[in-house]
Amino acid sequence: MSVPVHPEDKRMGIGVDPGKLLLFLGVLLVVVTVISLMVGRLRIPPGQIITILASRVYPFKQTWTPTLESVLFDVRIPRLLAGILVGAGLSVSGASFQGLFRNPLVSPHILGVSAGAGLGAALAILFFGNFAAVQLLSFVFGLLAVLMTYGLSTVYRTTPVLMLVLSGMIVGALFSAATSLLKYIADPVNNMPSIVFWLLGSLNNASNKDLLVVGPIIVIGTVVLLFIRWRINLLSMGEEDARALGVDTGRIRATIILCATMISAASVSIGGIIGWIGLVIPHIGRLLVGPDNKVLLPVATLVGAIYLVTVDVIARTAMETEIPIGILTALVGAPIFAYLLRKNRSGW
């Protein structure tokens, strides 16, 4: 379905052919994937990576150590897949929210999901002390925060966009204050560092078991958003225009919020609070292909996956100790976002 684009938005994009761009991004993702599997404290040559992977299908003569195989299958592949899923999921969620709210400054965490997940994780670290509880409570509290936001914003059976944003700010502030209180009363030797490190974001704890639980949630939410991406164009025109075209705006808005929230909560539960991806990556995609969500969402999905995998490689190889990935995404994302805002100040 062809959707009209605002005249100001036609100036955006650099005229890249979408098909060729998606092909290039797919190839670049493969290259980044290989690099991610190669580098680390234990370097694995590309040929050996292929041989070890193929040994799961065809029984090659084993010329590598069990430690090497364990590092590849139990550490690097789960971490790589987590980076791809989280980066792609947060990016497509950010692009969807920006189209839904018609505001380039919103991100997947605008409805309080990150603050809620942070509180859940802090509670789990403080009272349970195991990663499974951290994942479960962060996911549950992330969803709870959005439910509270949606309930608070409902006025006369309608949910205006402005009320959603303001309610998200209120709920986010409430959950952030509760998290700060838990950090204040936590054991400064054992619990406090764990809470702070988790809130800074890291893919260090990703495992195959976690991916089996969290992965399908992110994949399903992403597929649904990609499937309805042309409807986001209609919502970007305004609710009255969308209703005039026969779109059930309430149902589509609820679907977008539900999918983006599920993706965000699942991403936070496995990697902590990783900021700026859902805010910056859609702008990069919009700079490449313009504001049409039919093209923007697939491009943002691939760019987000490439970006987070690359940042994760830097985080675990730049220094002797791993750098929290949230620090790097902020250091890289903030200047990029400032540049994009200045470059595209006439419209988004």
Residue 98's domain is classified under what CATH number? Answer: 1.10.3470.10
Residue 118 exposure: Cα atoms within 13 Å on the Cβ side:
27
Contact 259, 221 (CB under 8 A): yes
Distance CA 139, CA 21 (A): 34
Extract the tokens encoding 277: 């991806």
Host domain of residue 178: 82-343
Whether 7 maps to a domain, the answer reads no
| pLDDT at position 1 | 43
Model pLDDT for residues 160-215, shown as the tens digit of each residue = 667 878 888 899 999 999 999 998 998 887 888 888 888 898 998 888 988 998 99
In a domain, 265, yes or no: yes
Does the residue 68 lie in any domain? no
Averaged over 314-321, what is the pLDDT? 88
Return the minimum-mean-pLDDT range out of 87-101, 160-174, 301-315. 160-174
The Cα 163–Cα 257 span in angstroms is 14
Residue 15 lies in a domain: no
Determine, yes or no, domain membership for 8: no
**Pick from 285, 233, 290, 288: nearest CA to 256:** 233
Which ranges of the chain would DSSP assign to H, the alpha helix? 18-38, 46-54, 66-70, 77-101, 113-127, 131-153, 161-185, 191-200, 208-227, 229-236, 239-244, 249-271, 277-289, 293-317, 325-343
Task: Give the separation between CA 348 and CA 335, rounded to whole angstroms.
Answer: 18
Give how many domains the chain has, as a whole number: 1
Cα–Cα distance between 92 and 64 in angstroms, integer?
A: 39
Domain membership flag for residue 51: no
Whole-number Å distance between alpha carbons of 264 and 209: 19
Q: Is residue 138 part of a domain?
A: yes
52 assigned to some structural domain? no
Reported as a pLDDT band with limits 50, 70 and 90, residue 14 is: low
Per the CB < 8 A criterion, the answer to whether 296 and 285 are in contact is yes
Report the mean per-residue pLDDT for the chain: 85
Q: Choose between 347 and 303: higher pLDDT.
A: 303
Grade residue 15 by pLDDT with cuts at 50, 70 and 90.
low
